[in-house]
Structure formats: structure tokens, C-alpha cells
Structure 1
Amino acid sequence: MKRLILMRHAKSDWSVGMPDHARPLNARGRKSAEALGDWLRAQDILPDQVLCSSAARTRETLDLLNLGEVMTRFEDRLYLAAPATLLKGLQGASGETVLILAHNPGIGDFAQGIVERGPDHPKFGAYPTGATLVADFETGDWSDVRMGSARCHAFAVPRDLLT
């Protein structure tokens, strides 16, 4: 079995007037990222590999998850990536539990397409900032993963974790 953690970056700060790729998280985003890390640890769902967009807000989200030492690749191709690009990245992964940290609309579309059936959560379709899907695959090799082949294990959004 392989496990995928599919996370959209936490809330970014639009007030800083920086180019999109360089935009950091805002205060709410920093709290949300910490809460998501706490949730992953509480569920004992920790990646052994991370594929992360090279954007500042994804890097900052990853840092605030506080996952410890994890094999990580920062990839320009994951910045605003389409579902096909995300799938290709996943098919080249080597970990048993892989975290992909990227952006909408691609990550939300990928989340909806990768699972046989989505979770019964009102925010899954919108995939808001910080949305995190945990999905399981009945395969021993990421290269065999296809769209619609995962079972939803868990889904969380920061708003649910911070209330």
C-alpha cells in the first residue's frame, strides 16, 4: 500500500505587494499550517518524502508543519501545476507516504480526480487553503497509480482544526 497526503498551501498574505511566487503566509496561514502538522502527527500520518512547489508560501507551510527531517524535493513544475503534472510527479515518487504540497486550482482538481469517491465534507470541492486529503492506494509502486484509483482515508481543513 502507498499513501498520499495532498495539501494545498496555507493562507497567503496578499497585502505584501510581492510577486505571486514570493508571497508568504499571513498570520492565519501560519496558525493553520501548525494545526495541520499537529493533526498529521495526531493521526500518525507522516510522510517519508515531500514533493513541494518552489513557491514561498508552500515552503513556509512545509516548515510550519514541523515534520522533522524528511526527504524533500522543491520543484518549480509544481508551482500552479495542472493535475497531469501532479500525477506525473507522484508516479516518480519513491517514498511509502508522500506529501505533495502545491496550489489551486490544480491540487483541488487532482484531489477530486485521484479518489474513487471523495470524502463527505462540504469543503472538499472547493479545496480551500490548507485543505489536506489523505488517500491510500493498493499498489507497491507509484508508477502504477492512475486517476480514480485511491481510497479516501481522511480529509481536513484548517478551519475545522482551529475551532
Structure 2
Amino acid sequence: MKELILVRHGKSSWEYSVNDKDRPLLQRGINDGHLVVGAFKKKKIRPDAVFSSPANRALHTCMIFLRSMDFAYADFQITNALYDFSGDDVLQFVKELDNGLETVMIFGHNHAFTHIANSLGSEYIDNVPTSGLVHLNFNTNDWSAIGKGSTSYTIFPKSLK
């Protein structure tokens, strides 16, 4: 069985005149990241690998999770394929994952993550919110063969406040 954990980056700031990849998190995004990872840790799931978009807001959200989970940075990678807003590159990335990885956590962006959650999961999600987490399961041992799976659970900041 393969497990995919999608985490949308935290709430970011539009206050600064920087390019899209350099936009930082707002304090709310930092706080929500801590809330969500706290709830996720209670699930006692340990990813085999973690991947993030190179965008500052996704990387910062990812670092909040990695530090809180005491995750080895050696098992973390940045990939441009996750700096995607349609979901096409994200899906291709997932389908090319090493089959030795059972549970993978990825940090990225909307609308890609809402699209992936809805096309591969069993529950319709109107919008994966900032700092939102969606856990998907697939009854296959081959990432390239994933199709419709099941949505195990979601963790959204609003439900934790």
C-alpha cells in the first residue's frame, strides 16, 4: 500500500515586493503549521521521504513539520516539480516516486493540491486551505499505478482552533 500526504503551504504575505517563489509566511501561516503538525504527530505516521516545492512559503511550512517530527533532513528533498499550480507536474512527480518508499509527504501549492486530493481521493474537498493536510491511501505497491485511492483523513487549521 502507498500513502501520500499532501500539505499546502501556510498563509503567505503579499506585503513584500518579491517574486512569487520568495513570498514569506505570515505569522498566521507559522502558527497554523504548528497546529497542524501537532495534530498530525498524534497519528504516529512516519514518512519515508519528504519533498517540498522550492518556494519559500512551502519550504518554511515544511521546515516547521520536519523540526516538530524530528525528521532526518537527509530524507528531505526540494523539487521544482512541486512548484506547480495545475497538478499535472505534481501527479507526474508522484507517479515517478521510488517504489521503495511507502509513505511520502509533499509540500506545495493550490490549486494543484486540491485537484490531486479530489482526483485521487475518495472525498470531495472544495479547497485545501493554507496549512491544510490531506492523507491519501492507494491499494497498490507501484507509484506509477496509483489511481483512485481513499482519503484517510484531513487536518485543516480551522478545525483545530
TM-score by length of 1: 0.88
- Aligned residue number for residue 149 of structure 2: 150
1:103 offset after TM fit, Å? 0.5
1:109 offset after TM fit, Å? 1.0
1:118 to 109, 117, 123: 123
1:97 aligns with 2:103: yes
Q: Secondary structure at the match of 1:134?
A: strand
- Aligned residue number for residue 132 of structure 2: 131
> What is the alpha-carbon distance in structure 2 between the residues aligned to residue 2 and residue 138 of structure 1?
7
> What is the alpha-carbon distance in structure 2 between the residues aligned to residue 106 and residue 159 of structure 1?
21
1:143 offset after TM fit, Å? 1.4
1:129 offset after TM fit, Å? 0.7
1:3 offset after TM fit, Å? 0.7
RMSD: 1.4
Q: Secondary structure at the match of 2:6?
A: strand
> What is the alpha-carbon distance in structure 2 between the residues aligned to residue 33 and residue 46 of structure 1?
17
- Aligned residue number for residue 22 of structure 1: 22
- Aligned residue number for residue 41 of structure 2: 41
Gaps of at least 5 residues in structure 2 are none
Residues 24 and 57, structure 1, Cα contact 8 Å, conserved in 2: yes
Q: Would you say how many aligned residue pairs link Structure 1 and Structure 2?
A: 155
Q: Secondary structure at the match of 1:14?
A: coil
Residues 78 and 102, structure 1, Cα contact 8 Å, conserved in 2: yes
Gaps of at least 5 residues in structure 1 are none
1:57 offset after TM fit, Å? 0.5
Identity %: 28
Residues 40 and 155, structure 2, Cα contact 8 Å, conserved in 1: no
1:35 offset after TM fit, Å? 1.4
Q: Secondary structure at the match of 1:98?
A: strand
Q: Secondary structure at the match of 1:63?
A: helix
TM-score by length of 2: 0.89
1:97 offset after TM fit, Å? 0.7
Q: Which runs of 4+ in 1 moved over 4 A?
A: none
